[in-house]
Homo-oligomer: A and B are copies of this chain.
Amino acid sequence: MNATVETLRNKLSADSIVDGGSLSERHFVDWSGEHPCAPIAVVRPRNIADISIIMQQCSRDRQPVVVQGGLTGLSGGATPRPGELAISLDRLVGIEELDAAAGTATVLAGTPLQAVQTAASEAGFLFPLDLGARGSCTIGGNIATNAGGNQVIRFGMMRSLVLGLEAVIADGTVVSSLNKMLKNNAGYDLKQLFIGTEGTLGIVTRATLRLYPLLPAKTTALCAVADFDAMIDLLHRLQAGIGGNLSAFEAMWDSYFGYVVEHVAGLRSPFDVRFPICVLVESEGSDARADHDRLEAVLADALAAGVLLDAAVARSEQDRENLWRIRDGIAEITPMLQPMLAFDVSLPIASMPSFLAQIDRAARARSESARLLVFGHVGDSNLHVAATTGREQDFPALRDIVYGTTGEHGGSVAAEHGVGTLRKQYLHYSRSAEEIALMRRLKGALDPLGILNPGRVIPD
């Protein structure tokens, strides 16, 4: 019997508190699956006023809370820690306005990403954030983690797509900054405090999102190159050659590509031979024929210059889907590679080859059966590494190898999956003592009692 829960039961509607035997295990852990823990209760606010009441009461009682959206995070940020009250935003769902003149959508934080994509598309717009968990993840979670995905090279991360937002801070104050304008410098841009801070500075409740015109023409190609330098040369040729239309540049080293095409049923490479690196390239524009011709011309030049070894341009939507299935094959091979660690790091592009050589060498020195599958959003400086030695005991050593080497190269131990509880101990590889002290100072200013998603992001 928790006093805060009992007080809230009186202050909110009866169905807003779920506890005891009614509690679903869904609320115990995020998609990382690590360290599940039951919250003392789940409170399901119906509106923003409810959230304000909850936080006022939790402040009075110094009751720590964990905020939950779609629970699709991979870093433990939404997994309860012992004694926490979970605030689920699953009733805060809906698109409140779609302003066609401004090209904006104002949505409640619990709205699934896919619902926003669909509503935008039905109104003739594109909401360009896209990631595998689109059906379950929520806009609030996308904002809290500054989500990335496949189109960052063109449209930026979630931070670039949020024009305004509303948040409830730890003491229950509702701070509403629902701006619709691209340019607004009327004082501090407060929304930045709540984007990418994983719910530690406030609970995002609403957002005004930037929409783009729908681009009907997609051209997709798989490009084979001999090495890293050729891949970067190709990237620069595409950036110069197809102008603002380049919307994906997804690299797959053969360690990944070869494994996927060999192990996933029904998938095949468009090439008869294996290449060191394959890159999935996509252009999005408004003129299918012209865009296609322009991409082919850039690729033909690169082939003639010896930069490209081979290329396969998708001739049908089925071709295109096949190419994307190779890129998305990580979901299908993950179960086959267990016990496996999934790293999400970013690095200055010039450092990537030495980073990869170094982690490969170190992992093999640790275990002869070490296997590193490498792929990622190279145009965004973001690499994903699936690492396994076949033995879970090697996890700490693998983490030290990958995060330590990332730090040596000035990289980031958390590119797009957040820090949460599971990666905060590695933050020092990417952030200085002064940076971490400033994060603490901010946390102290906005949440002096330390009740909002405590123990996330900032190292203890």
Residues of A within 8 A of B (CB): 99, 101-103, 145-146, 148, 152-154, 156-157, 159-160, 169, 173-177, 179-190, 192-193, 195-197, 212-215, 232, 236, 239-245, 284-287, 290-291, 294, 346-350, 377, 379-382, 410-419, 427, 430-432, 434-439, 441-442, 444-446, 457-458
A187, B415: Cβ atoms under 8 Å?
no
Contacts of A291 in B (CB 8 A): 243
Q: List 23 A-B contacts (CB under 8 A).
A: A101-B232, A152-B182, A159-B189, A175-B435, A176-B435, A180-B410, A181-B412, A183-B377, A183-B381, A184-B430, A185-B412, A185-B419, A186-B431, A187-B414, A187-B457, A215-B243, A241-B286, A243-B245, A243-B284, A243-B286, A244-B244, A287-B294, A444-B445
Q: How far is the CB of A133 from chain B (nearest CB, A)?
A: 16
B240, A154: Cβ atoms under 8 Å?
no
Contacts of A457 in B (CB 8 A): 187-188
B348, A99: Cβ atoms under 8 Å?
yes
Q: How far is the CB of A263 from chain B (nearest CB, A)?
A: 28
Q: Complex formed: what's the CA distance from A48 to B458 in Å? A: 27
Q: How many copies does the complex hold?
A: 2
Q: Complex formed: what's the CA distance from A192 to B415 in Å? A: 17
Contacts of A176 in B (CB 8 A): 432, 434-435
Q: Complex formed: what's the CA distance from A346 to B277 in Å? A: 47
Q: How far is the CB of A448 from chain B (nearest CB, A)?
A: 10
Partner of A418 from B185, B195, B418, B442 at Cβ < 8 Å: B185
Contacts of A154 in B (CB 8 A): 244
Q: Complex formed: what's the CA distance from A348 to B445 in Å? A: 32
Contacts of A146 in B (CB 8 A): 185, 189
Contacts of A196 in B (CB 8 A): 185, 188-189
**Given A101-B349, A348-B180, A445-B441, A213–B187 Cβ distance below 8 Å?**
no
Contacts of A160 in B (CB 8 A): 156, 160
Determine which residue in A175, A183, A414 has the highest number of CB atoms from chain B within 10 A of its CB, and name it. Answer: A183
Determine which residue in A174, A185, A347 has the highest number of CB atoms from chain B within 10 A of its CB, and name it. Answer: A185
Contacts of A103 in B (CB 8 A): 349
Contacts of A347 in B (CB 8 A): 181
Partner of A187 from B188, B241, B346, B431 at Cβ < 8 Å: B431
**Given A182-B152, A240-B213, A439–B380 Cβ distance below 8 Å?**
no
B179, A412: Cβ atoms under 8 Å?
yes
Contacts of A458 in B (CB 8 A): 187
Partner of A285 from B152, B181, B243, B436 at Cβ < 8 Å: B243
Q: Complex formed: what's the CA distance from A176 to B284 in Å? A: 37
* Nearest neighbor of A247 in chain B, beta-carbon distance: B244
Q: Complex formed: what's the CA distance from A156 to B157 in Å? A: 13
Q: Complex formed: what's the CA distance from A168 to B350 in Å? A: 28
Known contacts A159-B189, A180-B381, A181-B346; 16 additional CB pairs below 8 A are: A157-B182, A157-B183, A175-B435, A179-B412, A181-B381, A181-B412, A184-B430, A185-B414, A185-B415, A187-B430, A187-B457, A193-B442, A214-B240, A243-B285, A244-B285, A444-B445
Q: How far is the CB of A199 from chain B (nearest CB, A)?
A: 12
Determine which residue in A160, A213, A418, A437 has the highest number of CB atoms from chain B within 10 A of its CB, and name it. Answer: A213
**Given A102-B381, A160-B160, A243-B244, A430–B350 Cβ distance below 8 Å?**
no
Q: How far is the CB of A413 from chain B (nearest CB, A)?
A: 5
B350, A183: Cβ atoms under 8 Å?
no
Contacts of A186 in B (CB 8 A): 412-414, 419, 427, 430-431
Partner of A439 from B190, B214, B286, B439 at Cβ < 8 Å: B190
B188, A442: Cβ atoms under 8 Å?
yes
**Given A241-B286, A243-B245, A446-B441, A185–B145 Cβ distance below 8 Å?**
yes
Contacts of A418 in B (CB 8 A): 185
* Nearest neighbor of A201 in chain B, beta-carbon distance: B188
Partner of A184 from B185, B346, B445 at Cβ < 8 Å: B346
B435, A187: Cβ atoms under 8 Å?
yes
Q: Complex formed: what's the CA distance from A294 to B148 in Å? A: 31
